[in-house]
Amino acid sequence: AVPMLPGRDYDYHDFVDHFEADFVPVAMHAEDPMFMLYTSGSTGKPKAIVHATGGYMVWAAYTMGMVYTPRANDVLWCTADVAWITGHTSVVYGPLANGGTTMISDSLPTSPYPGRWFDLIDAYKVTMLFTAPTAVRAMMAQGEAVVQKRDLSSLRLLGIAGEPISPDAWLWYHDVVGKKRCPVADTWWQTETAGVVLGPVPGVQSLKPGSATMPLPGLEMVILNADGKAEAGATAGALCIARSWPGQCRTIWKDHERFRQAYFSMAPGLYFTGDGARRDEDGYYWITGRMDDVINIAGHRLGTAEVEDALG
């Protein structure tokens, strides 16, 4: 038994039993704040990103519907922590706004035994698995035999996000987990964007291992060179978004000037993502990583100053 500490720990029933069984939703304005999520910056304290009620829900529903093409009887399992943006959008709001079934499991691919995730896929007939490259590499380390012991025939689509994936990990995910029959939706997005920005529309484009494909319909991306000028065609540089979109974050809580400086000061009229990217001759985008001293681990952004402070 866990020792209960008064003032810190609460018995579940003592906490909830006095609430009404039926919750009456409150009507909100579209631009009312919906939630805040903290994300690290290269300097200063983590920033509280604010998303608006209407725009966030529209973008979560649109992007999940576009990339994951929900069907009747689908079971989507996004392994992300619900406390960060991928969990918000891909575990809760996006699937439910599309009328889908979402599965939640607080587990690791290697624990309590190798192949735990594959057993869950077979047990609950998961049709779409969405995880991070970090998890794919952990599954790779267990070996192909662990995967081959499971059926996994319910899967029809694989997804990844959170950090760039190497072509060899992409191919292993596609060939071994997906049995060479499940498309891999490699997506790029941020806490600030609410949902997918770069990603494939399944069945529309050819897939290139390691590429986040192209902007979803309605989005326009720009790559700036070292002089801050937009480059056409095959190029590399700072990744920016050229026009607003419904899910764009509205501000940093109680610090709009920092919001303006962080995202809109690099070039007039452009949202700077903080990431570098390469665009090939076919118009496919390849994320090359952060352009500041922020560490990106499975989509969790960690400022080096925060790490140094914690170690100190």
pLDDT at 289: 85
Q: Where are the extended beta strands (E) located within the chain?
A: 33-39, 47-52, 75-78, 101-103, 128-131, 157-160, 184-186, 221-224, 230-231, 235-241, 251-252, 271-279, 285-290, 294-297, 300-303
Enumerate the β-bridge partners of residue 277: 237, 287
Q: How far is CA 228 from CA 38, 223, 225, 236, 257, in A?
A: 28, 9, 5, 12, 21
DSSP 181: T
Task: For the domain covering 31-311, report its CATH number.
Answer: 3.40.50.12780
Q: How far apart are CA 127 and CA 222, in angstroms?
A: 34
pLDDT at 43: 62
Residues of the chain with pLDDT under 70: 1, 41-44, 293-312
pLDDT at 298: 54
pTM of the model: 0.87
Q: Among residues 64, 42, 43, 60, which one has the least CA distance to residue 51? A: 60
Beta strands 230-231 and 184-186 are unpaired
Tokens of 48: 């509280």
- Edge to edge, the sheet with strand 285-290 lists 230-231, 221-224, 235-241, 271-279, 285-290
Q: How far is CA 262 from CA 189, 251, 252, 273, 293, in A?
A: 17, 10, 10, 9, 14
Assess contact for 126 and 75: CB atoms under 8 A.
Answer: yes
pLDDT at 171: 96
**Residue pointed to by tokens 């995967």:** 147
